[in-house]
């Protein structure tokens, strides 16, 4: 979680050019040869997803628990998420239709895994789509999940498609076959709240069906994003609750591209978006370099199941 609000001068004094350790700058061949890969899983007799690693940060859980009651208020602290939701679907559609072998019948009977679903804004909307077969939505935050379940009960038609579970990706049973994996796995406004993003993404991989998509939204780590999300949105305007963002956890698009390279993923796509007061979120090409953006990557059809 972000540190308590400070003045701009204090914040500027502590920020410096930085790269998260789990998404390093490219190293020379000699340096790579001399250094163990940080992406290699630790030696263990147990599968990766049963390791001691946890993507759940107790401080993050506490922060979002406190905001649970406002989740479905379109004019409350989650207003920007409600406004962004249509673009989530637009981006998923753009990703899926970009595949060379895509035909309209590929949209029949889609399955979704929404990780860090919060109050269910995306999960509910995905379950309502006629081509959706099932939506599994998970979140470790109990108060938020209670809000999501209560809201879903207002629409009985969702019960056959939508399942909420209070858990983390580490505790969710790994699918035993491709038929049980998901066409779309979503991480919307999630990865910038995870302490170890590379380890987290390793746990997510087995849940994506070969040919399926992993899609996410996050924020670039730039001076502009610090100014707009931390200083303006949280400290000055108060349109986002203080402590929601930690600038040091933001991830740049090129860092994600580098992470997924040569790991059984293909066809990375990106869409930069900008919030325009009075108009909502709008796609702006190139804005992924300075602020909010969507990122998607397709699991190669011939990738192994692990």
Q: Tokens in use for 171?
A: 């505790």
Q: Is 193 annotated as a binding residue?
A: yes
Exposure of 160 in the CB half-sphere (CA atoms within 13 A): 6
Q: Is 139 annotated as a binding residue?
A: yes
- 109 assigned to a ligand binding site: no
CB atoms within 10 A of CB 29: 7
* DSSP of 73-86: -TTSTTHHHHHHHH
Are 296 and 121 in contact, with CB atoms under 8 Å apart? no
What number of other Cβ atoms are within 10 A of residue 15's Cβ?
14
CB 26 within 8 A of CB 245: no
Q: Is 196 exposed, middle or buried (0-12, 13-18, 19+ CB in 10 A)?
A: middle
Question: Known binder of ligand: residue 188?
Answer: yes
Q: Report angle CA 171, 177, 152 to the nearest 5 degrees.
A: 55
Instruction: Decide: helix, strand or coil at residue 123.
Output: helix
Q: Is 16 helix (H, G, I), strand (E, B) or coil?
A: coil
**Which two structure tokens, joined as six digits, stand for 191?**
């990865």
Residue 198 CB: number of other CB atoms within 10 A?
Answer: 16
Q: Residue 116 annotated as binding? A: yes
CA distance 100 to 229: 37
Give the DSSP letter of residue 172: S
Shortest CA distance to 6 belongs to which of 244, 231, 247, 246? 231
CB 133 within 8 A of CB 112: no
Annotated binding-site ranges for S-adenosyl-L-methionine: 88, 116, 139, 188
Annotated binding-site ranges: 88, 116, 139, 188-189, 192-193
Annotated binding-site ranges for Mg(2+): 189, 192-193
């Amino acid at each position: 979680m972000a540190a308590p609000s400070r003045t701009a001068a204090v914040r500027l004094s502590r920020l410096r050019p930085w790269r998260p350790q789990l998404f390093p700058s490219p190293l020379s061949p000699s340096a790579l040869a001399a250094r163990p890969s940080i992406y290699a899983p630790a030696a263990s007799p147990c599968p990766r997803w049963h390791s001691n690693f946890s993507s759940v940060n107790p401080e993050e859980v506490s922060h979002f628990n406190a905001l649970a009651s406002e989740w479905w208020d379109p004019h409350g602290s989650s207003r920007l998420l409600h406004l962004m939701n249509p673009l989530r679907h637009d981006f998923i559609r753009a990703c899926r239709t970009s595949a060379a072998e895509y035909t309209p019948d590929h949209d029949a009977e889609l399955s979704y895994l929404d990780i860090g679903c919060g109050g269910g804004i995306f999960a509910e909307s995905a379950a309502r789509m006629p081509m959706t077969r099932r939506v599994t939505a998970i979140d470790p935050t109990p108060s938020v999940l209670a809000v999501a379940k209560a809201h879903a009960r207002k629409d009985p038609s969702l019960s056959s498609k939508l399942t909420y579970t209070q858990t983390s990706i580490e505790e969710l049973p790994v699918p035993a076959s491709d038929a049980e994996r998901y066409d779309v796995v979503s991480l919307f406004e999630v990865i910038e709240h995870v302490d170890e993003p590379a380890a987290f993404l390793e746990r997510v991989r087995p849940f994506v069906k070969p040919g399926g998509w992993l899609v996410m939204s996050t924020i670039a780590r730039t001076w502009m994003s610090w100014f707009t999300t931390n200083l303006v949105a949280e400290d000055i305007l108060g349109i986002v609750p203080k402590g929601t963002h930690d600038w040091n956890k933001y991830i740049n698009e090129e860092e994600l591209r580098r992470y997924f390279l040569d790991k059984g993923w293909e066809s990375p796509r990106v869409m930069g978006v900008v919030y325009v007061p009075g108009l909502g979120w709008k796609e702006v090409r190139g804005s992924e370099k300075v602020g909010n953006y969507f990122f998607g990557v397709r699991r190669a059809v011939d990738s192994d199941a692990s």
